[in-house]
Structure 1
Amino acid sequence: MSKVEHQDATVLSDDELRTLDAHWRAANYLAAAQIYLMANPLLTEPLRPEHIKPRLLGHWGTSPGLNLVHTHLNRVIKARGLDALCVWGPGHGGPSVLANSWLEGSYSETYPDVTRDVAGMERLFRQFSFPGGVPSHVAPETPGSIHEGGELGYSLAHAYGAAFDNPGLLVACVIGDGEAETGPLATAWHSNKFLDPVQDGAVLPILHLNGYKIANPTVLARVPEAELDALLRGYGHEPIHVTGDDPAQVHRAMAAALDDALDRIALAQRTAREDGGTRRVHWPMIVLRTPKGWTGPAEVDGEPVAGTWRAHQVPLPGVRENPAHLRQLEEWLRSYRPEELFDQDGRPVADVLACVPDGSRRLGATAHANGGLLVRDLPIADLDGFAVPVEKPGTTLHEPTRVLGDLLEQIMRDTRSRRDFRLVGPDETASNRLQAVYGASGKAWQAERLPVDEHLDRHGRVLEILSEHTCQGWLEGYLLTGRHGLFSCYEAFVHIVDSMVNQHIKWLRTARRLPWRAPVASLNYLLTSHVWRQDHNGFSHQDPGFVDHVLNKSPEVVRVYLPPDANTLLSVADHVLRSRDYVNVVVAGKQPCFDWLSMDQARAHCARGAGIWDWAGTENGGEPDVVLACAGDVPTQEILAAAQLLRRHLPRLAVRVVNVVDMTRLLPREEHPHGMTDFEYDGLFTADKPVIFAYHGYPWLVHRLAYRRAGHRHLHVRGYKEAGTTTTPFDMVVRNDLDRYRLVMDVIDRVPGLAVRAAALRQLMADARTRHHAWIRAHGTDLPEVADWSWNA
């Protein structure tokens, strides 16, 4: 490698070059030593096997490039007085980010036992990827991070999420060339069409091409530079290329590239903010090409290492057992000349720290990477102003998400000046009946607009792009930097972000255990267009399994709510939007749904999480013969219709109706903070009576949540069992045996004595199902007795 561009745009003095190189060498030394050393941190004596960790873990290959970026970001932040955040995409570059935060002092401020001296250096080395220590990748434990580096693909979307509504912030984002091959990253390049140069901050992507992944070359490093340049320009960026392997030349080129990029950013923002410019900005980015494992061993055991895939993880294995490797490691570490970089007490010398910014401008100390320090309570208006009137249960209908949309519009209005609430979704805001928000904010859009377009707004706070990955990444970055939001999505397709929500849940779980990380606003999902009302779109749109996925995760972080009507949805939304450090999943319908509870009743019911609807049952203060339980809007309607049939045909049967809003209430108290004690559970569901449970999703989830309960053997759950197609709404529940007639049959089959006494009723119910099948095939609509049903008991 030899090509270097823009070397004449910024001319570093000899002193600047020396101090930048000193910082970079110090960071390289610390990064490499973290992988290998647990003693003798300053190499004050010859390296011996006992100084080496017994297990060598970590990733060296990307670290020198990350150290270069960190060093040069320090320079421009200090010189220009910038507020900046960096998202480190090459996930396993943990040694680099830890090294730099220790050098700048933010690590020791966060962890006072890891002092910025020889003792602290030894602790820094020993704890890295060591039992009881810190991970090998950038993680919540890392000061200055908002990005979990264990999984690749999300860095650029996180960076844009951090920049939205942060007009004074520069968000640098280092993208590894392996990460650049992932689908989420490829789509996130289009985020620049949503970045408002007036109200938002700037994102500076730095595509770091070191040529290799774990064992293979990377695509973008092997295409011709002209082709890569055309691709990035097609994405809407103006690339600045820096290529080289000579440190002095690369330092000069990187300084010039950063200054060039930041000048362009400043001009674009000034043009939009002061001159009223409205042309779409083509933002700069940097393409940095340096060798993988740069400055590390060139060759090991006769095989090339630096500049190849062999430098990806641990370039010198078996150091404890192989004297030749041990000698080579010592030569490698001494090549950085640590005696020039640290004084005899292990403190960084003045040259090393010359480029480091002060105070909160340090990348490891920025409050934007600890968003809980910045988050403010969300203003949520009194729900009574949005509630639907309910004089009698089950006689009026509303679309729950449309009712919620009015509340969200008011939140948008009330946050107009502070700009700390966003609604994201994959082109479904109006489809999900939330279009009222457009009255307060349009859809963010910086690209071309046509006369037929509606609600597009350069300064809008509704974000829509047909990539669930990008929506998720935007919202995560927004929340982790101290703001609020809601992700609205079709229930079946939210699975696309299964892996992303895994990482966010793990982040929150870890962050909750770190006293220095302040709680952030919860990640809230609104899943609608759900399984039971995707009868028109068919089987491909029918999947309620995201709830199962989330409930497998850390109990202290996850919550799942299934409000049965509009007022309970308002109550749940109020709760989750005020909450901190959770992932809340709310499943609610957008189709007309019966109103069951007044606003006051809804508040009380949602506070309980699960409760008896005495107006629907017939136990009359006595002990029930059967419990009809439900969770979800359609299952609730079917349970109530079944209860009505039982009241009519078996008036002496004591029926209890229980509705569950909070699914985690079914868990034992010792397994989830919301869980019921056995005493509470048995009081609600009984310990020995049949329980017929109509559930929104896959029925085995309820069994899994309640399997330890005394009455579990009496529990019979109906739910979705992959029997879907394009059909009528009621046929969906019939196909999955969740319909009212099947539920009545279940009661007859399970209540002792009813099999004989109610045999005629059971036959009547079976006949109704047969009649249903004939009717829909003849008429294409549901039976009149179903379509016109209401609760009139």
Structure 2
Amino acid sequence: MNAVPESEAPTGSLSDQELAGLDGWWRAANYLSVGQIYLMGNPLLHEPLRPEHVKPRLLGHWGTTPGLNFIYAHLNRAITARDLNMMYVMGPGHGGPGPVAAAWLEGTYSEVYPDITQDEDGMKRLFTQFSFPGGIPSHVAPETPGSIHEGGELGYSLSHAYGAAFDNPDLIVAAVVGDGEAETGPLAASWHSTKFVDPRRDGAVLPILHLNGYKIANPTVLDRIDREELDELLRGFGHTPILVEGTEPEYMHQAFAAALDRSLDEIAEIQRRARRDGHTERPRWPMIVLRSPKGWTGPKEVDGLEVEGSWRAHQVPFTNARDDGHRKILEQWLRSYRPEELFDTSGAPAAHIRDLHPLGTRRMSANPHANGGPLIRDLTMPDFRNYAVPVEVPGTGNVESTRILGTFLRDVMRENMSTFRMFAPDETNSNRLGAVLEVTDRTWNARTQPDDDHLAPDGRVMEILSEHTCQGWLEGYLLTGRHGVFSCYEAFIHIVDSMFNQHTKWLRTTNGIVWRRPIPSLNYLLTSHVWRQDHNGFSHQDPGFIDHVVNKKADVIRVYLPPDANTLLSVADHCLRSRQYVNVIVAGKQPQLQYLDMAAAITHCTKGIGIWDWASTDSGVEPDVVLGCAGDVPTMETLAAVQILLEWFPDLRIRVVNVVDLMRLQDHREHPHGLMEADFDALFTVDRPVIFAYHGYPWLIHRLTYRRTNHHNFHVRGYKEEGTTTTPFDMCVLNQIDRFDLAMDVIDRVPRLHRISAHPREHLKNKLIEHRQYIRTHGEDMPEITHWQWAPAAPPAGGGPGPVSTAEQ
């Protein structure tokens, strides 16, 4: 990766006219970028700058912006010359002034925001709104035309770019990777995406590593390592890097144009060999390394301190711009771009600037893939009812629910082989979804061995042991209008907490942007969950992602806890058809009881919450107690507790309420799925004790129900951070969500049981001791636990005294 010395600048790449045009467009974008950071008046400098022309609070990032503008200008030249379908993903997202300036120069900004016109008044509004109350953020954001990438957090540019390129064979995604961003874990893993792209059916990603040397105050690692070491690193990731390095604009334009042309030629040749000649060997994809000064073209120094090429250029190079001395520097800086050559007397881009960008949807700021909603093709969905598990008696059977879901997803995949993918960190088989491999393979373009399992370049199951990369790929795929599912072990989905945050913020913001169309929902399937991670132990036991999810605004998040296979099928069908949400489905993969036939499951999931009459004994009368449950294991333990209670107290009036849609518990004023007060009171009463067995941390149920009339009578049991390597039932016992503790809680909460509960309570305590002794002797749960199924009440096990009348004494 040897750079050509500036004294030996490439010749012939650009004509004098092309060079002048590129440099003029770059100067115009830089002028508009500086104006956004600093100005709120006098946008064309028709008069000397006065203090009131400068914003009182200066916010934004200048350092990376001129590099982003430089790259944008050159990509536009290539798009026009080659008629390319190209997107621009900006990893250094805090360079927000750049893509905003580009969209304004291309006319797209005025098309989507008609009040930001291409004239002096529009330029003034463009400047004033930037990082200003009621305006737009300082980074690349949903408000920025052409963006699919929120720039508030670093690390996701490459994975988003590859997600956009999958199944888009004519698309080239130029992904600018900042050298600060390159230090993040998510970005480091996403270089391996080269092993998952298929040049026959996918588009291409052209990474452009932008080395400008500094973060906020520190140097960047990749800028400070030897050139040979950087070259070896990038080649090791599967790229052929081309270095463009320098400071002098004429040389840099020629060198970068030559590098870009070479890269695009190599991409075209890779795709030609794959598509025409059937070449299947993994190619070495080109990439560009651009080393340019931080804050390029800005002030060389301010107050005797170096700015251009130093960390001081990272954000706002000087902040006292209303003061006479700094205001003079600002005016000189702005005039150095020669705005009188770039804009006509009305303030519109001059003709020679206006003609330098592509037309229509070839503009990167107007590329349809950057606004994926209009491109969506609805999934062709098989009828989920055809995959139903027969349920003749509720609470019986022994079915792996996610394995049933896998057969449904297999046929979703079969019917949508260019618009649907599955993503998982090496867990598709583990999570019992392996049926999809009957119709496709795992995507893999690296070396294979004879005993490998379902690996092929054209596979559609995306597996890499990086939750960040899976999430980034899926986000890029969804944002460009396609569909997918991310399955993951529940405990480790926390790894993408921050990525989830950013995506929900994107969805919330785009809900208020008219020209942004809804995109397919991000669907998480969390299995291998807390209650059946007994074999892996404490490290794998954490249901807290749900708590993180419900912190977000109600208009974008949904949480589902289907208790069996038929409810899981119904929920999955609904989520795959939905738009503009993050759907979290938590479902176990181990063999479990089945409760509802398909007709009942559809009714139950449609309501999201309901009384299970077949498990309740309060028909026509007021209940003594309500037993609520949400989640597959809590549901089973609740039903087992009901059976124990009815063995001892046959006339106890119990109501069982099962929750599939967790947000039904919240007040309807807080979440659109929330129950009206009267409906909630009808289910849970206004004064009776409610014992609620919940899949996750108990306090979440209290958070969701705190406004309810009967909240003070809610007693929630769930995971309380007690875990180890043990048996499945012992996990429940450790957290006191087991059937014996639930039954004792009911006895203690129902007043008329107090005087007649001594023997039942003693029996239940003995069962807990018996359980502990049994598992430590045999290493497995007692047979009465492992073989339990729902059945009519019978005399209590263990020689108890038999039923006790609860009639009033």
**Does the TM-score normalized on the shorter chain lie above 0.5?**
yes
Aligned to 2:543: 544
Taking the aligned partners of 1:411 and 1:5, their CA distance within structure 2 comes to: 59
Shift, 1:608, TM fit: 0.6
Deviations 1:215-235 (A, max 9, x none): 000000011111101100011
Deviations 1:660-719 (A, max 9, x none): 001111110010010111111111111110000000011111111111111111000010
- Tell me, what secondary structure is at the counterpart of 2:72? helix
Shift, 1:100, TM fit: 0.4
Taking the aligned partners of 2:647 and 2:317, their CA distance within structure 1 comes to: 78
Taking the aligned partners of 1:259 and 1:35, their CA distance within structure 2 comes to: 33
Structure 1: state its 5+ residue gaps: none
Deviations 1:571-625 (A, max 9, x none): 0000100000000000000001111001111111001111000100110221111
Of 199, 202, 216 in structure 2, the residue corresponding to residue 200 of structure 1 is 202
Moved beyond 2 Å, runs of 4+ = 1-10
Number of residue pairs matched by the alignment: 790
Deviations 1:387-438 (A, max 9, x none): 111111112121010000000000111012xx00000000000000000000
Deviations 1:348-387 (A, max 9, x none): 1122133200000001101100000101111111112111
Query: Contact 1:2–1:245 (CA<8 Å) still a contact in 2?
Result: no
Aligned to 1:46: 48
Aligned to 1:440: 439
Given residue 277 of structure 2, which amino acid in structure 1 is its aligned partner? D
Aligned to 2:714: 715
Deviations 1:2-30 (A, max 9, x none): 83599537521110000000000000000
CA RMSD of aligned residues (A): 1.0
Aligned to 1:342: 343
- Tell me, what secondary structure is at the counterpart of 2:614? coil
Structure 2: state its 5+ residue gaps: 793-809
Aligned to 2:400: 399
Aligned to 1:431: 430
Shift of the 653–723 alpha-carbon distance from structure 1 to 2, 3 Å rule, reads: same
Taking the aligned partners of 1:722 and 1:650, their CA distance within structure 2 comes to: 33
Taking the aligned partners of 1:316 and 1:535, their CA distance within structure 2 comes to: 58
Aligned to 1:755: 754
Aligned to 1:281: 283
Q: Percent of aligned positions with the same letter in both sequences? A: 65
Query: Contact 2:626–2:684 (CA<8 Å) still a contact in 1?
Result: yes
Taking the aligned partners of 1:536 and 1:279, their CA distance within structure 2 comes to: 41
Shift, 1:460, TM fit: 0.8
Deviates further, 381-390 or 557-566: 381-390
Deviations 1:38-77 (A, max 9, x none): 1100000110001011110000000100000100010001
Query: Contact 2:608–2:664 (CA<8 Å) still a contact in 1?
Result: yes
Aligned to 1:188: 190
**Matches of residues 209-358 of structure 1 in structure 2 within 5 Å?**
209-320=211-322, 322-358=323-359
Taking the aligned partners of 1:747 and 1:4, their CA distance within structure 2 comes to: 82
Given residue 436 of structure 1, which amino acid in structure 2 is its aligned partner? A
Deviates further, 782-791 or 282-291: 782-791
Query: Contact 1:618–1:647 (CA<8 Å) still a contact in 2?
Result: no
Deviations 1:194-220 (A, max 9, x none): 000001000000000000000000000
Taking the aligned partners of 1:788 and 1:234, their CA distance within structure 2 comes to: 53
**Matches of residues 354-753 of structure 1 in structure 2 within 5 Å?**
354-416=355-417, 419-753=418-752
Query: Contact 1:117–1:347 (CA<8 Å) still a contact in 2?
Result: yes
Taking the aligned partners of 2:12 and 2:173, their CA distance within structure 1 comes to: 22
- Tell me, what secondary structure is at the counterpart of 2:86? strand
Given residue 386 of structure 1, which amino acid in structure 2 is its aligned partner? Y
Query: Contact 1:84–1:366 (CA<8 Å) still a contact in 2?
Result: yes
Given residue 615 of structure 1, which amino acid in structure 2 is its aligned partner? W
Shift of the 85–706 alpha-carbon distance from structure 1 to 2, 3 Å rule, reads: same
Aligned to 1:147: 149
Deviations 1:449-471 (A, max 9, x none): 00010100110110000000000
Shift, 1:651, TM fit: 0.9
Query: Contact 1:559–1:582 (CA<8 Å) still a contact in 2?
Result: yes
Query: Contact 2:520–2:580 (CA<8 Å) still a contact in 1?
Result: yes
Given residue 272 of structure 2, which amino acid in structure 1 is its aligned partner? R
Given residue 222 of structure 1, which amino acid in structure 2 is its aligned partner? R
TM-score (norm 2): 0.97
Taking the aligned partners of 1:621 and 1:83, their CA distance within structure 2 comes to: 66
Shift of the 90–6 alpha-carbon distance from structure 1 to 2, 3 Å rule, reads: farther
Query: Contact 2:493–2:545 (CA<8 Å) still a contact in 1?
Result: yes
TM-score (norm 1): 0.99
Deviates further, 776-785 or 504-513: 776-785
Taking the aligned partners of 2:450 and 2:593, their CA distance within structure 1 comes to: 39
**Matches of residues 764-775 of structure 1 in structure 2 within 5 Å?**
764-775=763-774
Taking the aligned partners of 1:560 and 1:623, their CA distance within structure 2 comes to: 30
Shift of the 4–608 alpha-carbon distance from structure 1 to 2, 3 Å rule, reads: farther
Query: Contact 1:6–1:256 (CA<8 Å) still a contact in 2?
Result: no
Taking the aligned partners of 1:455 and 1:133, their CA distance within structure 2 comes to: 50
Shift, 1:722, TM fit: 1.0
Taking the aligned partners of 2:165 and 2:737, their CA distance within structure 1 comes to: 46
Taking the aligned partners of 1:701 and 1:574, their CA distance within structure 2 comes to: 26
Shift of the 573–261 alpha-carbon distance from structure 1 to 2, 3 Å rule, reads: same
Deviates further, 445-454 or 755-764: 755-764
Taking the aligned partners of 1:3 and 1:31, their CA distance within structure 2 comes to: 30
Taking the aligned partners of 1:600 and 1:424, their CA distance within structure 2 comes to: 30
Query: Contact 1:177–1:221 (CA<8 Å) still a contact in 2?
Result: yes
Deviations 1:81-137 (A, max 9, x none): 011111000010100010000000011011011011111111100000000000000
**Matches of residues 63-212 of structure 1 in structure 2 within 5 Å?**
63-212=65-214
Given residue 599 of structure 1, which amino acid in structure 2 is its aligned partner? M
Deviates further, 345-354 or 223-232: 345-354
Taking the aligned partners of 1:591 and 1:767, their CA distance within structure 2 comes to: 28
Taking the aligned partners of 2:372 and 2:191, their CA distance within structure 1 comes to: 24
Shift of the 622–265 alpha-carbon distance from structure 1 to 2, 3 Å rule, reads: same
Given residue 671 of structure 1, which amino acid in structure 2 is its aligned partner? E
Shift, 1:554, TM fit: 1.2
- Tell me, what secondary structure is at the counterpart of 1:753? helix
Query: Contact 2:376–2:482 (CA<8 Å) still a contact in 1?
Result: yes
Taking the aligned partners of 1:741 and 1:9, their CA distance within structure 2 comes to: 83
